[in-house]
Amino acid sequence: MELLLIRHGLPVRRELTEGVADPELAPDGLAQAALLGDYLASEHLDAVYASSLMRARQTAQPVVADRGLDLRIEPDVAEYDKDSSEYVPVEELKAANDPRWQAMLDGNMEGMEDHATFAARVISGVDRIIDAHRGHRVAVVCHGGVINAYLSHILGLDPGQRGFFYPNYTSINRVAAASSGERSIVTVNETTHLRGSGLPMGLFQRG
Protein backbone atom coordinates (compact mmCIF):
# COMPACT_ATOMS: atom_id res chain seq x y z
CA MET A 1 0.00 0.00 0.00
CA GLU A 2 1.02 3.64 -0.42
CA LEU A 3 0.97 5.80 2.69
CA LEU A 4 0.97 9.59 2.46
CA LEU A 5 2.15 11.18 5.70
CA ILE A 6 1.18 14.85 5.46
CA ARG A 7 2.15 17.60 7.85
CA HIS A 8 -0.59 20.06 8.86
CA GLY A 9 -0.68 23.69 7.72
CA LEU A 10 0.62 26.67 9.69
CA PRO A 11 -1.27 27.09 13.00
CA VAL A 12 -1.78 30.18 15.10
CA ARG A 13 0.38 30.80 18.16
CA ARG A 14 -1.41 30.00 21.41
CA GLU A 15 -0.02 30.21 24.96
CA LEU A 16 -2.42 29.45 27.82
CA THR A 17 -1.92 29.47 31.57
CA GLU A 18 -3.95 26.28 31.88
CA GLY A 19 -5.69 23.78 29.63
CA VAL A 20 -4.63 22.37 26.26
CA ALA A 21 -3.62 24.84 23.54
CA ASP A 22 -4.70 22.79 20.46
CA PRO A 23 -4.52 25.75 18.03
CA GLU A 24 -6.44 26.11 14.79
CA LEU A 25 -4.86 26.96 11.45
CA ALA A 26 -3.73 30.49 10.73
CA PRO A 27 -5.07 32.13 7.53
CA ASP A 28 -1.88 31.06 5.72
CA GLY A 29 -2.41 27.53 7.01
CA LEU A 30 -5.94 27.43 5.62
CA ALA A 31 -4.58 28.60 2.25
CA GLN A 32 -1.89 25.91 2.35
CA ALA A 33 -4.52 23.26 3.11
CA ALA A 34 -6.69 24.42 0.19
CA LEU A 35 -3.74 24.13 -2.21
CA LEU A 36 -2.95 20.68 -0.80
CA GLY A 37 -6.52 19.57 -1.46
CA ASP A 38 -6.36 20.83 -5.03
CA TYR A 39 -3.01 19.10 -5.60
CA LEU A 40 -4.25 15.72 -4.37
CA ALA A 41 -7.61 15.95 -6.14
CA SER A 42 -6.29 13.98 -9.12
CA GLU A 43 -5.06 11.09 -6.95
CA HIS A 44 -7.33 8.31 -5.82
CA LEU A 45 -7.39 7.89 -2.05
CA ASP A 46 -9.05 4.96 -0.33
CA ALA A 47 -9.07 6.61 3.09
CA VAL A 48 -8.06 9.87 4.77
CA TYR A 49 -7.00 10.00 8.41
CA ALA A 50 -6.08 12.88 10.69
CA SER A 51 -4.77 13.19 14.19
CA SER A 52 -7.18 14.33 16.87
CA LEU A 53 -5.63 17.82 16.98
CA MET A 54 -7.44 20.77 15.38
CA ARG A 55 -4.61 21.79 13.04
CA ALA A 56 -4.48 18.31 11.50
CA ARG A 57 -8.25 17.94 11.20
CA GLN A 58 -8.61 21.33 9.49
CA THR A 59 -5.79 20.52 7.06
CA ALA A 60 -7.44 17.21 6.17
CA GLN A 61 -10.83 18.74 5.32
CA PRO A 62 -9.91 19.92 1.78
CA VAL A 63 -8.24 16.54 1.15
CA VAL A 64 -11.34 14.54 2.02
CA ALA A 65 -13.80 16.98 0.42
CA ASP A 66 -15.80 15.73 -2.59
CA ARG A 67 -14.41 12.19 -2.28
CA GLY A 68 -17.39 10.55 -0.60
CA LEU A 69 -15.13 9.57 2.29
CA ASP A 70 -15.45 10.21 6.00
CA LEU A 71 -12.45 11.73 7.75
CA ARG A 72 -11.13 9.13 10.18
CA ILE A 73 -9.50 10.25 13.42
CA GLU A 74 -6.45 8.39 14.74
CA PRO A 75 -5.35 9.75 18.15
CA ASP A 76 -2.04 7.87 18.04
CA VAL A 77 -0.70 10.13 15.28
CA ALA A 78 -1.11 13.27 17.41
CA GLU A 79 2.03 15.30 18.14
CA TYR A 80 4.26 14.87 21.19
CA ASP A 81 2.98 18.19 22.58
CA LYS A 82 -0.70 17.22 22.26
CA ASP A 83 -1.41 17.97 25.92
CA SER A 84 0.69 21.14 26.18
CA SER A 85 -0.83 24.46 27.25
CA GLU A 86 1.18 26.33 24.63
CA TYR A 87 1.92 26.10 20.93
CA VAL A 88 4.47 28.32 19.24
CA PRO A 89 5.39 27.57 15.60
CA VAL A 90 8.94 26.24 15.56
CA GLU A 91 9.98 28.92 13.08
CA GLU A 92 9.21 31.57 15.68
CA LEU A 93 11.08 29.68 18.40
CA LYS A 94 14.16 29.28 16.21
CA ALA A 95 14.10 32.86 14.88
CA ALA A 96 13.91 34.24 18.43
CA ASN A 97 16.59 31.84 19.70
CA ASP A 98 14.00 30.84 22.27
CA PRO A 99 15.39 28.24 24.72
CA ARG A 100 12.24 26.21 24.08
CA TRP A 101 13.62 25.44 20.59
CA GLN A 102 16.55 23.46 21.99
CA ALA A 103 14.37 22.01 24.73
CA MET A 104 12.04 20.70 22.03
CA LEU A 105 14.91 19.07 20.13
CA ASP A 106 16.21 17.55 23.37
CA GLY A 107 12.76 16.29 24.34
CA ASN A 108 12.69 18.37 27.51
CA MET A 109 9.91 20.82 26.73
CA GLU A 110 7.14 21.06 29.29
CA GLY A 111 4.10 18.99 28.34
CA MET A 112 6.07 16.85 25.88
CA GLU A 113 6.01 13.05 25.79
CA ASP A 114 9.34 11.34 26.22
CA HIS A 115 10.99 10.04 23.05
CA ALA A 116 10.41 6.33 23.62
CA THR A 117 6.74 6.64 24.57
CA PHE A 118 6.02 8.96 21.66
CA ALA A 119 7.82 6.82 19.08
CA ALA A 120 6.09 3.64 20.25
CA ARG A 121 2.67 5.32 20.07
CA VAL A 122 3.28 6.71 16.58
CA ILE A 123 4.66 3.48 15.14
CA SER A 124 1.74 1.51 16.57
CA GLY A 125 -0.80 3.97 15.18
CA VAL A 126 0.69 4.16 11.70
CA ASP A 127 1.21 0.40 11.42
CA ARG A 128 -2.39 -0.15 12.47
CA ILE A 129 -3.54 2.06 9.58
CA ILE A 130 -1.26 0.19 7.18
CA ASP A 131 -2.59 -3.19 8.32
CA ALA A 132 -6.17 -2.02 7.72
CA HIS A 133 -5.51 -0.87 4.15
CA ARG A 134 -3.55 -3.44 2.21
CA GLY A 135 -3.33 -2.50 -1.46
CA HIS A 136 -4.76 0.98 -0.81
CA ARG A 137 -3.50 4.56 -1.03
CA VAL A 138 -4.13 6.32 2.27
CA ALA A 139 -3.43 9.87 3.42
CA VAL A 140 -2.65 10.57 7.08
CA VAL A 141 -2.58 14.24 8.08
CA CYS A 142 -0.40 14.52 11.14
CA HIS A 143 2.61 16.42 12.48
CA GLY A 144 6.30 17.07 11.95
CA GLY A 145 7.31 15.03 14.97
CA VAL A 146 5.12 12.12 13.88
CA ILE A 147 6.66 12.09 10.40
CA ASN A 148 10.15 12.28 11.90
CA ALA A 149 9.39 9.40 14.27
CA TYR A 150 8.01 7.08 11.61
CA LEU A 151 10.68 7.80 9.00
CA SER A 152 13.34 7.39 11.70
CA HIS A 153 11.82 3.99 12.43
CA ILE A 154 12.05 2.99 8.77
CA LEU A 155 15.66 4.17 8.55
CA GLY A 156 16.66 2.46 11.78
CA LEU A 157 17.65 5.71 13.46
CA ASP A 158 17.64 6.37 17.18
CA PRO A 159 14.03 7.32 18.06
CA GLY A 160 15.50 9.96 20.37
CA GLN A 161 17.01 11.77 17.37
CA ARG A 162 14.05 14.11 17.09
CA GLY A 163 14.18 16.54 14.20
CA PHE A 164 16.60 14.71 11.88
CA PHE A 165 14.83 16.48 9.02
CA TYR A 166 12.22 19.22 8.75
CA PRO A 167 8.86 18.46 7.07
CA ASN A 168 7.46 21.63 5.52
CA TYR A 169 3.87 22.70 6.13
CA THR A 170 1.43 20.50 4.18
CA SER A 171 4.37 18.53 2.78
CA ILE A 172 3.62 15.01 1.53
CA ASN A 173 5.97 12.21 2.56
CA ARG A 174 5.25 8.93 0.79
CA VAL A 175 5.98 5.46 2.13
CA ALA A 176 5.51 2.13 0.33
CA ALA A 177 4.41 -0.45 2.90
CA ALA A 178 4.41 -4.14 2.02
CA SER A 179 2.27 -6.73 3.80
CA SER A 180 5.54 -8.53 4.58
CA GLY A 181 6.49 -5.65 6.87
CA GLU A 182 8.96 -3.98 4.51
CA ARG A 183 8.79 -0.18 4.47
CA SER A 184 10.39 2.06 1.82
CA ILE A 185 10.54 5.85 1.77
CA VAL A 186 9.43 7.04 -1.68
CA THR A 187 9.43 10.85 -1.33
CA VAL A 188 10.01 13.43 1.38
CA ASN A 189 8.82 17.03 1.57
CA GLU A 190 6.68 17.12 -1.57
CA THR A 191 5.54 20.75 -1.71
CA THR A 192 4.86 21.35 -5.40
CA HIS A 193 1.44 22.72 -4.47
CA LEU A 194 3.04 25.61 -2.54
CA ARG A 195 5.41 26.74 -5.30
CA GLY A 196 4.66 30.25 -6.47
CA SER A 197 2.04 30.78 -3.77
CA GLY A 198 4.11 33.11 -1.60
CA LEU A 199 2.96 31.14 1.43
CA PRO A 200 5.42 30.09 4.15
CA MET A 201 6.70 26.56 3.74
CA GLY A 202 8.75 26.14 6.87
CA LEU A 203 12.04 27.15 8.42
CA PHE A 204 13.84 28.27 5.31
CA GLN A 205 11.45 28.88 2.43
CA ARG A 206 8.38 30.51 1.07
CA GLY A 207 6.42 29.11 -1.82
Assigned domain for 64 exists = yes
What is the span of the domain harbouring residue 178? 2-13+22-86+115-194
Assigned domain for 188 exists = yes
What are the C-alpha distances in Å from 188 to residues 3, 47, 148, 152?
A: 12, 20, 11, 12
Residue 158's pLDDT band (boundaries 50, 70, 90)? confident
Assigned domain for 110 exists = no
Assigned domain for 93 exists = no
Assigned domain for 28 exists = yes
Assigned domain for 92 exists = no
Contacts with 46 (C-beta within 8 Å, 6 or more apart), sequence order? 133, 136, 137, 138
CATH number of the domain encompassing residue 53: 3.40.50.1240
Count of structural domains, the chain = 1
Residue 10's pLDDT band (boundaries 50, 70, 90)? very high
Assigned domain for 102 exists = no
pTM for this model (two decimals): 0.93
Assigned domain for 132 exists = yes
Share of the chain above pLDDT 70, in %: 91
